[in-house]
Amino acid sequence: MTLPRRQDWLGAALLACGLVTLAGPAGAQDAVIHGRVINDRGEGLPVATVQIQELNVGVFTNSEGRYAMQIPAARVTGQTVMLRVRTIGHKPATRQLTLRAGEQTQDFTLITDVNLLEAVVVTGTQEATERVKVPFSVTRVDASQMPVPAEDPLRALQGKIPANIVSYSGRPGAQPSVLLRGPTSINAQGRGQDPLYIVDGVIINGALPDINPGDIESVEVVKGAAGASLYGARAGNGVINITTKSGRRALEGVQFSARSEGGVSDIERDFGLARFQALAMDEHGRQFCQAVSGQPLCARTFDYLKEEARINNYPADSATTTVSLPIDPGANIAGDVLRRRFQVSPWPSTGYNAVNQVVTPHPYLQNSVDMTGRFGSTRFYASASNLTERGAFRFLQGFVRNSFRANVDQAIGSAWNIGLRTAYTRSTQDGLNQEGGGQAFFRLTRVPAVANILQRDTLGRLYIRPNLQGGGTQNENPLYSLENTARQDLTNRFIGGLTLRYAPVDWFNLEGEVGYDLRRANFSQVNDKGFRTTAYDPVTNGGSIFRGSSSNEAINGGVNANFRLDLARDLRARWSLRYSYEQRDSSIASGFGNALSVKGVTSLVNAASGKTLASGVTSVRQIGLFAGTGLEYKDRYILDALIRRDGSSLFGPGSRWATFGRVSGAWRVALEPWWPLPQVSELKLHGSYGTAGGSPSFSAQYETFTIGAGGLLSLTTLGNRNLQPEVHHEIELGADLELFNRYGLTATYARTRIDRQILLAPVSSSTGYTNQWQNAGTLLNITYELSLNVPLVQRPSVSWSMSFVYDRNRSWIQQLGVPPYFYGAANVQATDQIFQAKEGELYGTFYGRKFLTSCSELPAPFNTDCGGAKSPFQMNDEGWLVWVGKDNNPRWGITHNLWETSVPGCINSAGIAETVCSQPGTSTITSPWGVGLNWGMPIILRGDPGDMRNAPNVALGNALPSFRFAVTQDLQWKRLSLHALVDAAIGQHVWNQGFHWAHLDFLSKDVDQVGKSVETAKPIGYYYRAAPPDNAAGLGGFYDILGPNNFTVEDASYAKLRELMVSYHIGAVRGVGDWGVSLVGRNLFTITGYRGFDPEIGLGALPPQPGLAGGGNGGQAASGAVNAVDAFSFPNLRTFTIGITTSF
């Protein structure tokens, strides 16, 4: 609030003197109003605004909630005025009084604003507006609702708002993926699905983990086009607007606060590696059989640990050749041994858990200090903080962020205000090369229980090959790359914003703003000379170097003019005009080389061969023109309309401009004179229709080429000069309900149609090009959102409140202007064809092969003799349909020697049995689809329309949850407080690729048969490769092929105790400070049936690295929330800390 300078100093003086000022008699004709402002628990409310708008006079309450306002005699005429009191988190109060000479006392009790309906919001609105008067959905979260300090702003919002915020990677410094109202682009490659991020008016052009969450005062979220039209072509995915702390509500003087938190991080769950083995051993079970040509089985044996030591102590840069095994369960095994070997043999020596050896608790530290103050018309906030999150993985250093902030607000007279926001961050992190199919986590699933991956050789080197089986040739010690691949990423970030506001009269204000965001990163990845390998190679390993840098610079600015006018009694109107400008420039350059000349030199000049260079530069310009109007009648009928015209260099040259707009209205029903229910203190119905945009990627409008040998150009993508942005059309309906001024409920329904989808379409070969980016599809989102706030107990000594949020989103491909196709996450093996784009399909539906689980899935006539006690097809003890032969039982595999049996696919016309029927039309079919089956093995669904012997790709489940919910509990008893947040996602599916692929080497714990009976035990072939015609080596097991199937695309529903904090308010210690202590836990416990590390997992963008110089974009979905693949990534961290706070 802006006050005349004379009143500023008078108010400050009165606050400093307190009641002493009132002890003497007031001036003969001055008016003095004093009193106290408290909350509904009887506690004083500091820094509440007390004002008389008619006189443009106001003061703030002191730390005890007391205020004193003196009106000069010349302005006291016995008039009637309105005394208004307002503070954040409480409903304002207004009282009419007669202004007369002398003293009068006016005390106020402000009711807690449970639903924050009276909070002033600025996101999506034409000017700052009370949330209760906003005719579309705006979610506001303030600092009091984020008591547990988070690593980044998005994690701070998890469970606080109805939205899909997924921490798809637990790597320290990784940014979560956000879908506010579902996916909005069928192909978001090069663009992403995240919302537009704004910090203090600065449009962010980069990651949010650089921002210190401790500096946040509030976050406002507008989820779709119905509210985000104000932001035009970049706002189709919604807007998250962060406001940092300032001194605008500070008392005169300076207050310091400090917080220190320390503890450890680990991970909650284990992967579940196999503990037993199926190798051939001697009769004592101590030595392993060695394959010797021309000799019988086990003619020669060896000691595993001694052989392991021998091959790893080889002095060169590799392990030496190991002995051969006669039975080697792994990628190359085949034949009848798959039917006969059961994984039941213990290892003869101490068993190790490789997960426990890789995971080791690391320090977690957060320290911050800040000061908030006010000197006259100058208000300020400054902070410094350090986050050290070392993670939980041996040899990695994690994420370290040092940040500094200075925010200043200056009032100049009563008409001018200047606001300056600045922040600088420097951060370092490692481990980025281990994301998405990362080397260490992949190898971790290939470690047998006998292997001690911490073992070092006589030269002090980690064993490079602890696994003596064939799989050990390509799967080195997972710790080796963590220790010896030196990955380092350094980021410097500056964000600054300047706002100038001019309000000469109450019906007009003019505001100008400029924002600047500069992010520069340097990255390097070095395998030094002598880096070891598993396969025997006597030549010195030359190593490799990869290094580079990137720069992202963004400038945005604008000028806003707002006009307000009372058109009639109780009818107020406003008009807004705005011009905005954005400029975004990015560049990246990197180099790679190998065969290093000198050990320890990390300059690229040290690389003697294989040198490659890569670089890229982009530059984007955008301007926006905006006009809007609004009407408000009797405080309860509200209308709002706006139109925005955007011009962008990202649009095709023939379509440089696009128009967006919004029409919305609200009705505050409970304010009607006829409203019969006084218990309903607020009921607002609102509806909005708006449009916003999704801009094309930088290169989409241009012709693209590939450069071959000798500089030869090959045509790739045809340019499109008429390419337009995607347009989001959203209808939003909602209600805000409050009962007894306490219980708050917000419900929202949104229907969003996103047309002009930007898709890669095939073009005529006559053009010479392969494809072209075109506007060729429509996506439909339906969303339901619910928020409930319930203050159960509100008393001076005890309070208990609960909040509940819920959201459900479904996204369909409504129209597709290109042929149906498969897509997925790029840059990670076997993930690029896991979803299907076709009309009517739910977006994010996994497609893959299906093992039968019911008789109805068999073709005729086999489905008629299925499921009975003597039927040839029965369900086994795990719920899978298997062939057992007539009059047999799935439990007789061992006791009746049935694992050795099979049924052919057909008997051909020559009377010869064929495993896979070569001529189904002229043969006698003896097995479903003419494909032979092995006894007791799971059966793959076949019957592809093109060839019945082939297995079609079918829907396996959706990567997006059916619904999400979160419950927060806050309990305070005297000085003790408890905060708990449970966050849940129900109905989502994850392709557990790590679990899936571990079956190839029989290293998943479900392959172990110890504890099973002879009736339920399964041979190793049950878990191995597909059978013919898909693979000649297997019998039809669950590993099947590389792609997804319904055994490993699993329900990953979960409920997670995301936050738990117990704190105690100590108060002053020997008269100094205001101290508190807390115990904090993050991601403490997960309830789930998921078989991997963490069900909250996915594949997002990948960083620049060798072979991927520009980084990976996450494929067409371009979101870790959609790419729900558990592909050997960092599991989320669990932290335990103790914190101390003070202020003085």
| pLDDT greater than 60 at residue 137 | yes
Residues 228 and 692: beta-carbon distance below 8 Å: yes
| pLDDT greater than 60 at residue 13 | no
- Report which residue type is found at 813: I
* Cα-only R_g, the chain: 34
User: Rounded to whole angstroms, how far apart are CA atoms 875 and 871?
Assistant: 10
User: Rounded to whole angstroms, how far apart are CA atoms 731 and 782?
Assistant: 10
Considering only 89-98, 372-381, 482-491, 1035-1044, which range has the smallest mean pLDDT? 89-98
* Residues present in the chain in total: 1144
User: Rounded to whole angstroms, how far apart are CA atoms 877 and 666?
Assistant: 58
* DSSP track, 677-714: -TTEEEEEEEEEEEEEEEPPPTTTTS-EEEE-GGG-EE
Q: What is the per-residue pLDDT for 796?
A: 82
Distances (CA, A) of 816 to 127, 291, 460: 39, 58, 59
Give the mean model confidence (pLDDT) for residues 1108-1121: 89
pLDDT in tens, 180-202: 999 999 999 999 999 999 999 99
What percentage of the chain carries pLDDT values higher than 90? Answer: 85
Q: Which residues of 869-887 are buried (b: 16+ CB within 10 A; e: fewer)?
A: eebbbbbbeeebbbbbbee
Residues 781 and 809: beta-carbon distance below 8 Å: yes
Q: What is the per-residue pLDDT for 333?
A: 95
Domains of the chain: 5-110 (2.60.40.1120), 120-244 (2.170.130.10)
| pLDDT greater than 90 at residue 736 | yes
Q: What is the per-residue pLDDT for 1?
A: 35
**With bands split at pLDDT 50, 70 and 90, how would you rate the model's confidence at 12?**
very low
**With bands split at pLDDT 50, 70 and 90, how would you rate the model's confidence at 4?**
very low
More confident residue, 393 or 250: 393
Q: What is the pTM of this model?
A: 0.92
Q: Is 1126 helix (H, G, I), strand (E, B) or coil?
A: coil
Pick from 468, 463, 593: which is nearest to 524 by CA?
Answer: 593
Q: What is the helix (H) or strand (E) element at residue 665, kind and residue range?
A: strand 657-668
| pLDDT greater than 80 at residue 130 | yes
| pLDDT greater than 80 at residue 20 | no
pLDDT in tens, 975-1019: 999 999 999 999 999 999 999 999 999 999 999 999 999 999 999
Supply the DSSP symbol for 1121.
T
Pick from 82, 87, 96, 83: which is nearest to 38 by CA?
Answer: 87
Backbone angles phi, psi at 1025, to 5 degrees: -70, 165
pLDDT in tens, 404-447: 999 999 999 889 999 999 999 999 999 999 987 778 999 999 99
Give the mean model confidence (pLDDT) for residues 868-882: 97
Give the mean model confidence (pLDDT) for residues 110-126: 86
SS (H, E, C) 1090-1115: CCCCCCCCCCCCECCECCECCCECCC
Task: Output the average pLDDT for the chain.
Answer: 93
Distances (CA, A) of 1139 to 214, 366, 571, 964: 14, 9, 52, 30
| pLDDT greater than 50 at residue 828 | yes
| pLDDT greater than 50 at residue 14 | no
Give the mean model confidence (pLDDT) for residues 12-20: 38
Q: Which residues of 186-209 are buried (b: 16+ CB within 10 A; e: fewer)?
A: bbbbbbbbbbbbbbbbbbbbbbbb
Cβ-proximal residues to 878 (8 Å cutoff; 6+ apart), any chain = none
pLDDT in tens, 353-405: 999 999 999 999 999 999 999 999 999 999 999 999 999 999 999 999 999 99
- 374 has which bridge partners? 253, 379
Q: What is the per-residue pLDDT for 235?
A: 94
Residues 621 and 649: beta-carbon distance below 8 Å: yes
Q: What is the per-residue pLDDT for 447?
A: 95
**84: exposed, middle or buried (Cβ count in 10 Å: 0-12, 13-18, 19+):** middle
Tokens coding 1097: 């997992």
User: Rounded to whole angstroms, how far apart are CA atoms 850 and 951?
Assistant: 8
Pick from 1134, 1098, 1136, 1104: which is nearest to 1118 by CA?
Answer: 1098
Q: What is the per-residue pLDDT for 47?
A: 86
| pLDDT greater than 70 at residue 586 | yes
| pLDDT greater than 50 at residue 24 | no
Backbone angles phi, psi at 862, to 5 degrees: -65, -25
Residues 848 and 1045: beta-carbon distance below 8 Å: yes
DSSP H helical ranges for 245-371: 304-312, 337-340, 354-358
Residues 690 and 662: beta-carbon distance below 8 Å: yes
Q: What is the helix (H) or strand (E) element at residue 154, kind and residue range?
A: helix 153-157
